[in-house]
Chain A
Amino acid sequence: MTATRTDHSLLPADLSVHDDPHPPAAVRLEQVSKDFGDTSRPPVLDRIDLTVASGEFVCLVGASGCGKSTLLSIIAGLDAPTSGTVEVAAGHPALMVEEPALFPWLDAGQNVELALRLRGVPRGARGGEARRLLDLVHLDGASAKRVHELSGGMRQRVALARALAQEGRVLLMDEPFAALDAITRDVMHDELTRIWQDTGLSVLFVTHNVREAVRLGQRVVLLSSRPGRVVREWTVSIPQPRRIEDPAVGDLSTEITEHLRREIVRHGR
Protein backbone atom coordinates (compact mmCIF):
# COMPACT_ATOMS: atom_id res chain seq x y z
CA MET A 1 0.00 0.00 0.00
CA THR A 2 2.83 2.34 0.89
CA ALA A 3 4.26 1.87 -2.58
CA THR A 4 1.08 3.07 -4.22
CA ARG A 5 0.80 6.10 -1.99
CA THR A 6 1.71 8.47 -4.84
CA ASP A 7 -0.70 6.84 -7.26
CA HIS A 8 -3.28 9.38 -8.44
CA SER A 9 -5.96 6.77 -8.88
CA LEU A 10 -6.38 5.94 -5.21
CA LEU A 11 -9.61 4.06 -5.02
CA PRO A 12 -11.88 4.43 -2.00
CA ALA A 13 -13.04 0.86 -2.63
CA ASP A 14 -9.64 -0.51 -1.65
CA LEU A 15 -10.42 -2.59 1.44
CA SER A 16 -6.83 -2.70 2.64
CA VAL A 17 -7.21 0.89 3.85
CA HIS A 18 -8.63 -0.44 7.10
CA ASP A 19 -5.27 -1.96 7.99
CA ASP A 20 -3.38 1.09 6.85
CA PRO A 21 -2.44 3.53 9.61
CA HIS A 22 -2.58 6.27 6.93
CA PRO A 23 -5.84 6.00 4.95
CA PRO A 24 -5.62 7.07 1.28
CA ALA A 25 -5.55 10.82 0.92
CA ALA A 26 -8.15 12.71 -1.09
CA VAL A 27 -5.82 15.70 -1.26
CA ARG A 28 -2.14 15.71 -0.41
CA LEU A 29 0.04 18.81 -0.55
CA GLU A 30 3.75 18.59 0.07
CA GLN A 31 5.90 21.67 0.52
CA VAL A 32 3.62 23.73 -1.73
CA SER A 33 4.82 27.31 -2.20
CA LYS A 34 3.43 30.08 -4.33
CA ASP A 35 4.81 33.52 -5.07
CA PHE A 36 3.88 35.90 -7.83
CA GLY A 37 7.46 36.59 -8.87
CA ASP A 38 7.87 39.58 -6.54
CA THR A 39 10.91 38.77 -4.37
CA SER A 40 10.53 41.90 -2.20
CA ARG A 41 7.38 40.42 -0.66
CA PRO A 42 7.03 37.18 1.28
CA PRO A 43 5.48 34.32 -0.72
CA VAL A 44 1.71 33.94 -0.61
CA LEU A 45 2.08 30.29 0.36
CA ASP A 46 5.19 28.98 2.07
CA ARG A 47 5.93 25.24 2.15
CA ILE A 48 2.40 24.08 2.95
CA ASP A 49 1.98 20.46 3.99
CA LEU A 50 -1.66 19.47 4.15
CA THR A 51 -3.51 16.20 3.78
CA VAL A 52 -7.25 15.68 3.56
CA ALA A 53 -8.08 12.02 4.14
CA SER A 54 -10.75 10.31 2.08
CA GLY A 55 -14.12 11.28 3.51
CA GLU A 56 -12.63 13.90 5.83
CA PHE A 57 -14.01 17.39 6.41
CA VAL A 58 -11.18 19.91 6.91
CA CYS A 59 -11.64 23.63 7.49
CA LEU A 60 -8.95 26.16 6.69
CA VAL A 61 -9.08 29.44 8.61
CA GLY A 62 -6.88 32.51 8.47
CA ALA A 63 -6.93 36.28 8.14
CA SER A 64 -7.10 38.12 4.82
CA GLY A 65 -4.17 37.54 2.56
CA CYS A 66 -3.22 34.15 3.98
CA GLY A 67 -3.52 32.61 0.54
CA LYS A 68 -6.55 30.44 1.35
CA SER A 69 -8.17 31.10 -2.00
CA THR A 70 -4.87 30.69 -3.86
CA LEU A 71 -4.44 27.32 -2.18
CA LEU A 72 -7.88 26.16 -3.32
CA SER A 73 -7.22 27.40 -6.86
CA ILE A 74 -4.02 25.36 -6.92
CA ILE A 75 -5.82 22.21 -5.73
CA ALA A 76 -8.61 22.82 -8.26
CA GLY A 77 -6.01 23.01 -11.01
CA LEU A 78 -6.82 26.63 -11.89
CA ASP A 79 -3.40 27.84 -10.74
CA ALA A 80 0.02 26.19 -10.56
CA PRO A 81 2.25 26.16 -7.46
CA THR A 82 5.71 27.74 -7.73
CA SER A 83 7.11 24.61 -6.11
CA GLY A 84 5.93 21.52 -4.26
CA THR A 85 3.63 18.67 -5.22
CA VAL A 86 -0.15 18.47 -5.30
CA GLU A 87 -1.98 15.17 -5.45
CA VAL A 88 -5.73 14.85 -5.81
CA ALA A 89 -7.62 11.55 -5.73
CA ALA A 90 -9.37 10.30 -8.86
CA GLY A 91 -11.94 12.64 -10.37
CA HIS A 92 -11.94 16.36 -11.04
CA PRO A 93 -12.32 18.32 -7.77
CA ALA A 94 -15.44 20.47 -7.57
CA LEU A 95 -15.04 24.09 -6.47
CA MET A 96 -17.71 26.28 -4.90
CA VAL A 97 -17.06 29.95 -4.19
CA GLU A 98 -18.85 32.83 -2.50
CA GLU A 99 -20.72 33.85 -5.66
CA PRO A 100 -22.95 30.99 -6.84
CA ALA A 101 -21.99 31.93 -10.43
CA LEU A 102 -24.90 30.03 -11.96
CA PHE A 103 -25.25 30.63 -15.69
CA PRO A 104 -28.13 33.12 -16.07
CA TRP A 105 -29.02 31.84 -19.53
CA LEU A 106 -30.03 28.46 -18.06
CA ASP A 107 -32.63 27.54 -15.48
CA ALA A 108 -31.71 25.79 -12.23
CA GLY A 109 -32.12 22.27 -13.62
CA GLN A 110 -30.17 23.08 -16.80
CA ASN A 111 -27.29 24.45 -14.74
CA VAL A 112 -26.98 21.09 -13.00
CA GLU A 113 -27.45 19.22 -16.29
CA LEU A 114 -24.63 21.18 -17.91
CA ALA A 115 -22.21 19.87 -15.28
CA LEU A 116 -23.44 16.34 -16.04
CA ARG A 117 -23.08 16.88 -19.78
CA LEU A 118 -19.52 18.20 -19.42
CA ARG A 119 -18.75 15.14 -17.30
CA GLY A 120 -19.95 12.94 -20.17
CA VAL A 121 -23.22 11.65 -18.71
CA PRO A 122 -25.40 10.44 -21.64
CA ARG A 123 -28.35 12.64 -22.60
CA GLY A 124 -31.05 10.25 -21.40
CA ALA A 125 -29.65 10.00 -17.88
CA ARG A 126 -29.10 13.71 -17.27
CA GLY A 127 -32.65 14.78 -16.50
CA GLY A 128 -33.23 12.18 -13.81
CA GLU A 129 -29.82 12.70 -12.24
CA ALA A 130 -30.30 16.48 -12.15
CA ARG A 131 -33.67 16.01 -10.46
CA ARG A 132 -32.09 13.67 -7.90
CA LEU A 133 -29.37 16.21 -7.09
CA LEU A 134 -31.82 19.11 -6.80
CA ASP A 135 -33.92 16.95 -4.52
CA LEU A 136 -30.81 16.27 -2.43
CA VAL A 137 -30.47 20.02 -1.78
CA HIS A 138 -34.25 20.28 -1.22
CA LEU A 139 -34.94 22.18 -4.42
CA ASP A 140 -37.05 19.58 -6.20
CA GLY A 141 -39.67 22.17 -7.15
CA ALA A 142 -37.31 24.85 -8.42
CA SER A 143 -35.84 23.08 -11.44
CA ALA A 144 -37.53 25.32 -14.01
CA LYS A 145 -36.76 28.56 -12.16
CA ARG A 146 -34.44 31.10 -13.71
CA VAL A 147 -31.40 32.14 -11.70
CA HIS A 148 -32.70 35.65 -11.00
CA GLU A 149 -35.90 34.16 -9.55
CA LEU A 150 -33.97 32.31 -6.83
CA SER A 151 -32.95 33.67 -3.44
CA GLY A 152 -29.29 33.76 -2.40
CA GLY A 153 -29.61 30.57 -0.38
CA MET A 154 -31.38 28.75 -3.20
CA ARG A 155 -28.72 29.82 -5.69
CA GLN A 156 -26.00 28.51 -3.41
CA ARG A 157 -27.87 25.20 -3.08
CA VAL A 158 -28.16 24.91 -6.87
CA ALA A 159 -24.40 25.63 -7.00
CA LEU A 160 -23.90 22.82 -4.46
CA ALA A 161 -26.03 20.45 -6.58
CA ARG A 162 -23.96 21.45 -9.62
CA ALA A 163 -20.74 20.79 -7.69
CA LEU A 164 -22.05 17.37 -6.64
CA ALA A 165 -22.93 16.67 -10.29
CA GLN A 166 -19.23 16.72 -11.09
CA GLU A 167 -18.92 13.49 -9.16
CA GLY A 168 -15.41 14.29 -7.97
CA ARG A 169 -14.45 12.74 -4.66
CA VAL A 170 -13.28 16.13 -3.44
CA LEU A 171 -15.36 19.23 -2.78
CA LEU A 172 -13.42 22.49 -2.41
CA MET A 173 -15.36 25.36 -0.87
CA ASP A 174 -14.14 28.95 -0.70
CA GLU A 175 -16.26 31.02 1.71
CA PRO A 176 -19.40 29.60 0.08
CA PHE A 177 -21.81 31.00 2.65
CA ALA A 178 -20.15 34.37 3.38
CA ALA A 179 -22.76 36.38 1.49
CA LEU A 180 -25.78 34.71 3.12
CA ASP A 181 -27.78 35.98 6.07
CA ALA A 182 -27.26 34.21 9.42
CA ILE A 183 -30.37 32.02 9.36
CA THR A 184 -29.83 30.88 5.78
CA ARG A 185 -26.18 30.18 6.57
CA ASP A 186 -27.24 28.10 9.55
CA VAL A 187 -29.54 26.03 7.33
CA MET A 188 -26.75 25.61 4.78
CA HIS A 189 -24.49 24.27 7.54
CA ASP A 190 -27.10 21.61 8.35
CA GLU A 191 -27.47 20.78 4.66
CA LEU A 192 -23.75 20.52 4.04
CA THR A 193 -23.19 18.31 7.09
CA ARG A 194 -26.02 16.01 6.02
CA ILE A 195 -24.82 15.76 2.41
CA TRP A 196 -21.22 15.19 3.52
CA GLN A 197 -22.34 12.37 5.82
CA ASP A 198 -24.55 10.84 3.11
CA THR A 199 -22.07 11.00 0.25
CA GLY A 200 -18.75 10.38 2.00
CA LEU A 201 -17.17 13.25 0.06
CA SER A 202 -13.89 14.79 1.18
CA VAL A 203 -14.38 18.48 1.87
CA LEU A 204 -11.81 21.26 2.16
CA PHE A 205 -13.66 24.32 3.40
CA VAL A 206 -12.04 27.75 3.51
CA THR A 207 -13.50 30.45 5.76
CA HIS A 208 -12.53 33.44 7.87
CA ASN A 209 -15.36 32.58 10.25
CA VAL A 210 -13.85 30.46 13.04
CA ARG A 211 -17.22 29.42 14.48
CA GLU A 212 -18.33 28.20 11.08
CA ALA A 213 -15.11 26.16 10.82
CA VAL A 214 -15.66 24.54 14.22
CA ARG A 215 -19.35 23.95 13.44
CA LEU A 216 -18.49 22.04 10.26
CA GLY A 217 -15.01 20.53 10.34
CA GLN A 218 -13.44 17.41 11.77
CA ARG A 219 -10.20 19.30 11.69
CA VAL A 220 -9.48 23.05 11.69
CA VAL A 221 -6.19 24.26 10.21
CA LEU A 222 -4.95 27.78 10.95
CA LEU A 223 -2.90 29.53 8.25
CA SER A 224 -0.72 32.58 8.87
CA SER A 225 -0.67 35.52 6.46
CA ARG A 226 2.25 36.58 4.26
CA PRO A 227 3.84 34.17 4.18
CA GLY A 228 0.98 31.69 4.33
CA ARG A 229 2.06 28.82 6.53
CA VAL A 230 0.27 26.18 8.55
CA VAL A 231 0.46 27.53 12.12
CA ARG A 232 -1.53 24.99 14.06
CA GLU A 233 -4.35 22.58 13.70
CA TRP A 234 -7.12 21.33 15.97
CA THR A 235 -9.10 18.12 15.84
CA VAL A 236 -12.76 18.81 16.55
CA SER A 237 -14.19 15.91 18.49
CA ILE A 238 -17.60 17.45 19.21
CA PRO A 239 -20.11 14.95 17.74
CA GLN A 240 -22.19 15.91 14.70
CA PRO A 241 -24.82 17.24 14.31
CA ARG A 242 -23.47 20.31 16.05
CA ARG A 243 -25.04 23.69 16.31
CA ILE A 244 -23.12 26.91 15.88
CA GLU A 245 -24.38 28.11 19.28
CA ASP A 246 -23.24 24.94 21.15
CA PRO A 247 -21.04 25.88 24.15
CA ALA A 248 -18.38 23.37 23.07
CA VAL A 249 -18.26 24.98 19.60
CA GLY A 250 -17.96 28.36 21.30
CA ASP A 251 -15.13 27.27 23.58
CA LEU A 252 -12.98 25.86 20.79
CA SER A 253 -13.76 28.88 18.59
CA THR A 254 -12.54 31.19 21.35
CA GLU A 255 -9.29 29.27 21.59
CA ILE A 256 -8.69 29.28 17.82
CA THR A 257 -9.66 32.94 17.52
CA GLU A 258 -7.07 33.73 20.20
CA HIS A 259 -4.37 32.20 17.98
CA LEU A 260 -5.74 33.89 14.88
CA ARG A 261 -5.58 37.27 16.66
CA ARG A 262 -2.00 36.65 17.66
CA GLU A 263 -1.20 35.99 14.01
CA ILE A 264 -2.87 39.23 12.95
CA VAL A 265 -1.18 41.30 15.68
CA ARG A 266 2.20 40.04 14.45
CA HIS A 267 1.58 41.98 11.20
CA GLY A 268 0.86 45.26 12.99
CA ARG A 269 4.31 45.43 14.53
Chain B
Amino acid sequence: MGKTVLIVDDSNTMRKIVSRALRQAGIDFSTILEAGDGQEALAVLSANDVDVVLSDINMPNMNGLEFLKAKAEDPAIKDIPVVMISTETGADIIDEAKSYGAKGAIKKPFTPELINDTLGALL
Protein backbone atom coordinates (compact mmCIF):
# COMPACT_ATOMS: atom_id res chain seq x y z
CA MET B 1 0.00 0.00 0.00
CA GLY B 2 1.33 3.42 -0.94
CA LYS B 3 2.21 6.01 1.61
CA THR B 4 0.83 9.48 2.32
CA VAL B 5 2.90 12.66 2.28
CA LEU B 6 1.89 16.14 3.42
CA ILE B 7 3.50 19.12 1.64
CA VAL B 8 3.40 22.34 3.67
CA ASP B 9 4.24 25.53 1.76
CA ASP B 10 2.48 28.88 1.37
CA SER B 11 3.42 28.92 -2.31
CA ASN B 12 0.98 27.03 -4.51
CA THR B 13 3.71 26.94 -7.16
CA MET B 14 6.18 25.29 -4.82
CA ARG B 15 3.62 22.71 -3.66
CA LYS B 16 3.14 21.76 -7.33
CA ILE B 17 6.91 21.62 -7.90
CA VAL B 18 7.46 19.41 -4.85
CA SER B 19 4.60 17.11 -5.92
CA ARG B 20 6.19 16.76 -9.35
CA ALA B 21 9.62 16.11 -7.84
CA LEU B 22 8.16 13.37 -5.62
CA ARG B 23 6.69 11.65 -8.67
CA GLN B 24 10.00 12.03 -10.53
CA ALA B 25 11.86 10.65 -7.52
CA GLY B 26 9.91 7.43 -7.91
CA ILE B 27 8.68 7.26 -4.33
CA ASP B 28 5.38 5.39 -4.09
CA PHE B 29 3.08 7.94 -2.47
CA SER B 30 -0.57 6.98 -3.00
CA THR B 31 -1.79 10.25 -1.52
CA ILE B 32 -0.26 13.72 -1.60
CA LEU B 33 -1.89 16.17 0.82
CA GLU B 34 -1.21 19.91 0.92
CA ALA B 35 -1.32 22.70 3.50
CA GLY B 36 -0.56 26.40 3.13
CA ASP B 37 0.92 27.01 6.60
CA GLY B 38 1.63 25.34 9.92
CA GLN B 39 -1.88 25.77 11.27
CA GLU B 40 -3.40 24.06 8.25
CA ALA B 41 -0.77 21.33 8.53
CA LEU B 42 -1.70 20.54 12.13
CA ALA B 43 -5.34 20.17 11.08
CA VAL B 44 -4.43 17.89 8.18
CA LEU B 45 -2.25 15.70 10.41
CA SER B 46 -5.04 15.35 12.95
CA ALA B 47 -7.53 14.23 10.31
CA ASN B 48 -5.36 11.91 8.18
CA ASP B 49 -2.83 9.10 8.49
CA VAL B 50 0.33 10.77 7.18
CA ASP B 51 3.65 8.95 6.83
CA VAL B 52 5.95 11.93 6.29
CA VAL B 53 5.77 15.74 6.11
CA LEU B 54 7.77 18.06 3.87
CA SER B 55 7.55 21.57 5.31
CA ASP B 56 8.74 25.01 4.30
CA ILE B 57 10.09 27.25 7.09
CA ASN B 58 9.26 30.81 6.03
CA MET B 59 5.43 30.89 6.00
CA PRO B 60 2.73 33.29 7.24
CA ASN B 61 0.39 32.59 10.20
CA MET B 62 2.43 29.69 11.60
CA ASN B 63 5.92 29.17 10.21
CA GLY B 64 7.74 25.87 9.94
CA LEU B 65 9.54 26.13 13.29
CA GLU B 66 6.32 27.04 15.10
CA PHE B 67 4.64 24.11 13.38
CA LEU B 68 7.34 21.73 14.62
CA LYS B 69 6.96 23.00 18.20
CA ALA B 70 3.18 22.67 18.15
CA LYS B 71 3.35 19.21 16.59
CA ALA B 72 5.82 18.01 19.22
CA GLU B 73 3.30 18.88 21.93
CA ASP B 74 0.53 16.72 20.44
CA PRO B 75 1.03 13.03 21.35
CA ALA B 76 -1.19 11.89 18.49
CA ILE B 77 1.05 13.36 15.78
CA LYS B 78 4.42 14.07 17.38
CA ASP B 79 6.13 10.97 15.93
CA ILE B 80 5.30 11.71 12.28
CA PRO B 81 8.66 12.55 10.65
CA VAL B 82 9.14 16.03 9.21
CA VAL B 83 11.76 17.12 6.67
CA MET B 84 12.24 20.84 6.16
CA ILE B 85 12.34 21.96 2.53
CA SER B 86 13.28 25.60 2.34
CA THR B 87 15.52 28.36 1.06
CA GLU B 88 16.44 28.82 4.74
CA THR B 89 19.02 26.14 5.45
CA GLY B 90 21.58 28.02 7.53
CA ALA B 91 23.19 25.93 10.26
CA ASP B 92 21.52 27.88 13.08
CA ILE B 93 18.02 27.47 11.65
CA ILE B 94 18.47 23.79 10.84
CA ASP B 95 19.87 23.11 14.31
CA GLU B 96 16.80 24.81 15.77
CA ALA B 97 14.48 22.78 13.53
CA LYS B 98 16.20 19.54 14.54
CA SER B 99 15.89 20.50 18.21
CA TYR B 100 12.13 20.56 17.62
CA GLY B 101 12.20 17.14 15.96
CA ALA B 102 12.90 17.75 12.25
CA LYS B 103 14.55 14.69 10.68
CA GLY B 104 16.40 16.49 7.92
CA ALA B 105 16.52 19.45 5.55
CA ILE B 106 16.39 19.92 1.79
CA LYS B 107 17.54 23.20 0.30
CA LYS B 108 15.63 24.87 -2.52
CA PRO B 109 16.53 24.53 -5.34
CA PHE B 110 16.42 20.76 -5.10
CA THR B 111 16.47 17.75 -7.41
CA PRO B 112 14.26 14.63 -7.35
CA GLU B 113 17.41 12.65 -6.51
CA LEU B 114 18.02 14.73 -3.39
CA ILE B 115 14.41 14.23 -2.27
CA ASN B 116 14.70 10.50 -2.90
CA ASP B 117 17.92 10.25 -0.91
CA THR B 118 16.49 12.21 2.02
CA LEU B 119 13.07 10.56 2.21
CA GLY B 120 14.34 7.10 1.36
CA ALA B 121 16.05 6.90 4.72
CA LEU B 122 12.81 7.73 6.53
CA LEU B 123 10.30 5.49 4.74
Asked if A and B are interacting partners, one says: no
Task: Report which B residues bind A (CB closer than 8 A).
Answer: none
Task: Report which A residues bind B (CB closer than 8 A).
Answer: none
